Structure 1
Amino acid sequence: MKWIKGIGLFLIANFLIYITLSFTANLLINAVLPAFGIDVRGVFNQQLLVWSLVIGFGGAFISLAFSKQMARAMLDCQQITQPRSHAEQVIYGSVREISERLQITMPEVWVYQSPDPNAFATGPSKNNSMVAVSTGLLQNLKEEEVKAVLAHEMGHVFNGDMFTTTILAGLMNTFVHYISNFLSNIVGQPSDREEGNTAGNPILAFVTYIFLQIVLSFLAMLVVSWHSRRREYAADAFSARVYGKQSMIGALQGIDRWVKRAQFEYSNQDALATMKISGTSSGVMHLFATHPPIEERIAALEQL
């Protein structure tokens, strides 16, 4: 019944976030802003905050709960339950070995068809997860490097990265939904309510809502991407503790060679596709990359 514990922790986290947001908003509106001559008391909508939390965390929770099913539906993948080749034995054996070492339920092990050397872990909790590797990973990396990548993904599982990312995404969704609705309602209110005019400006309110949704969503993406890059460093360090840092460094170097070769062969056509593996170290796109640049990850490993 470990899934019940996961749901319980999720609901407790939602409740604590609601209490924090509610307290902070009331303090800001009723004490801080009036001290600076800004009086917006009476406009704080607690019902809107609750609805925003339901929408923000509801969507994130559904994505987390069905993450394994959605991943399998989007990929041409095959589960390994009884290894039938040396490569499958390496994958399955490594995941089982690390799971036993960490004393967690062994994740499902899958292989999916894709030329890019990649892998991912997903699932509602560390005891209900899956690890998948691409055929490109098996074709482009050595055995010890493949094992290092698997340890990296198991680091995500053991660190609870799927859960913490869901909490952060839910919080960002709540922020975007509440602020967009809150400010658009204020903008759309009639300016002469004291004279009995109750007709607002719904068009202006709608335009403001769309504008804020776009701007705030981009800002939320910055926060989620920053968190994603930080967890990649932690997973790299976990892999280094399991199989040694040289194996993970070798894996990153092998992936980097493939990325550079793919970018050369397809010019700039595949730049965004390869960024999901290697990240980028220049320009604004670096802020939206979910993975740090490979050279920075290697440098961090060498300093361990």
Structure 2
Amino acid sequence: MFKRITLFLATNLAVLVLLGIIMNVVLPMFGIQLGNNGALLVMAALFGFGGSFVSLMLSKWMAKRSTGAHVIQQPANEMEQWLFTTVQRQAQAAGIGMPEVAIYDAPEINAFATGANRNNALVAVSTGLLRAMDRDQAEAVLAHEVSHVANGDMVTMALLQGVLNTFVIVLARVVGRAIDGYLSGGRNEGPGLAYFAIVFVLDMIFGLFASMIAMWFSRHREFRADAGGATLAGREKMIAALERLKINHGENTLPKQVAAFGISGAIGHGLKKLLLSHPPLDVRIEALRNASLDGNAVRQGVVA
């Protein structure tokens, strides 16, 4: 789990550092200066939101390739027919377009949803889930994933990540400029090696805080998806599914692009909890037991 988090953070920080090199080294070589904060904000937004939305547009394709998911075109057996029919019924109840339905080979109990919009999504379940869960539990898991789609969680996460990326890029360079100016005694000699070193460190620090914010929101929307799953499939089925997930012991082999949208999350303690995409299962179960469920909650994306 720690290795997965480290890889996730390293990837995001590498992107931020690359953007910093482009804005502070490459663009000035062509006479493009970003000393003005307005210009910096525009460029940061282009880079920050650009990466998020490219990932969103490619999310289904990347998910299929990275998991080796088999999309059910024509159900080949009774299990595939049940999966397809169940998702179709739930999608109609949630007021969204029919998602693609897929199965991917993985030992843990898991499922995920992804896609660029509510009417062009993908819902996939693991072979481990199909082996370990009964039909009622599996129905609840599918309802949880359909609720993610109905709530527009994929688009919301992309927007949030774009805002956070922009914030990190701008703040690191504004603060870096101020620190560099203070250390140089106010001499206006342009950015030097010290400035780039300061910005590099600030990218990592602010990037870490941005990841914490993104994961906080990810945990929040899991409660909404659980409640949406309970609305579509039934509260007791959803609780039974979460109880069954405990045998996973925090295992989650989904690639990072879709890990936050799986129903099963990793386990963490102390500061690691701030970087988890899912709340603890016991907390989710307790919240579901105490929730007041609204029949229109999934369509509206709101749980009372």
TM-score range, shorter chain: 0.7 to 0.9
Q: Does structure 1 residue 287 correspond to structure 2 residue 274?
A: yes
Q: Does structure 1 residue 180 correspond to structure 2 residue 172?
A: yes
**SS of 2:64's equivalent?**
helix
Per-residue CA distance 1:267-289 (angstroms, 9 max, x = gap): xxxxx9xx982443631111111
Q: CA deviation at 1:44?
A: 5.6
Q: What is the aligned counterpart of 2:247 among 249, 257, 265?
A: 257
Q: Following the alignment from structure 1 to structure 2, what is the Cα–Cα distance between the partners of residues 235 and 169?
A: 20
Aligned to 2:234: 244
Q: What is the aligned counterpart of 1:75 among 67, 73, 79?
A: 67
**SS of 1:104's equivalent?**
coil
Q: What is the aligned counterpart of 2:82 among 60, 75, 90?
A: 90
**AA aligned opposite 2:206:** L
> Scaled by the length of structure 1, what TM-score is found?
0.77
Q: Does structure 1 residue 106 correspond to structure 2 residue 98?
A: yes
Q: What is the aligned counterpart of 1:191 among 185, 191, 194?
A: 185
Q: Following the alignment from structure 1 to structure 2, what is the Cα–Cα distance between the partners of residues 192 and 175?
A: 25
Q: Following the alignment from structure 1 to structure 2, what is the Cα–Cα distance between the partners of residues 171 and 130?
A: 25
Q: Following the alignment from structure 1 to structure 2, what is the Cα–Cα distance between the partners of residues 78 and 192?
A: 61
Per-residue CA distance 1:131-172 (angstroms, 9 max, x = gap): 111111101111111110000000000000011111100000
Aligned to 2:14: none
Q: Following the alignment from structure 1 to structure 2, what is the Cα–Cα distance between the partners of residues 103 and 219?
A: 36
Q: What is the aligned counterpart of 2:156 among 145, 164, 167?
A: 164
- The answer for unaligned runs of 5 or more in structure 1 is 1-42, 264-271
Per-residue CA distance 1:231-252 (angstroms, 9 max, x = gap): 0000000111111111111111
Q: Following the alignment from structure 2 to structure 1, what is the Cα–Cα distance between the partners of residues 179 and 270?
A: 35
Q: Tell me which of the two structures has the higher relative contact order, counting C-alpha pairs closer than 8 angstroms and 6 or more residues apart.
A: 2
Per-residue CA distance 1:157-200 (angstroms, 9 max, x = gap): 0000011111100000000111112222333344354xxxx434
Q: CA deviation at 1:81?
A: 1.8
* Root-mean-square deviation (Å): 2.2
**AA aligned opposite 2:120:** N
- Whether the aligned pair in 2 keeps the contact of 1:153 and 1:235 (CA below 8 Å) is yes
Q: Following the alignment from structure 1 to structure 2, what is the Cα–Cα distance between the partners of residues 192 and 301?
A: 57
Task: Return the index of the structure with the highest Cα Rg.
Answer: 1
**SS of 1:51's equivalent?**
helix
Q: What is the aligned counterpart of 1:46 among 25, 38, 43?
A: 38
Q: CA deviation at 1:298?
A: 0.7
**AA aligned opposite 1:122:** T
Judging changes above 3 Å, is the alpha-carbon distance between structure 1 residues 192 and 241 closer, same or farther for their aligned structure 2 residues?
Answer: closer
> Scaled by the length of structure 2, what TM-score is found?
0.77
- Whether the aligned pair in 1 keeps the contact of 2:144 and 2:263 (CA below 8 Å) is no
Q: Following the alignment from structure 2 to structure 1, what is the Cα–Cα distance between the partners of residues 219 and 143?
A: 17
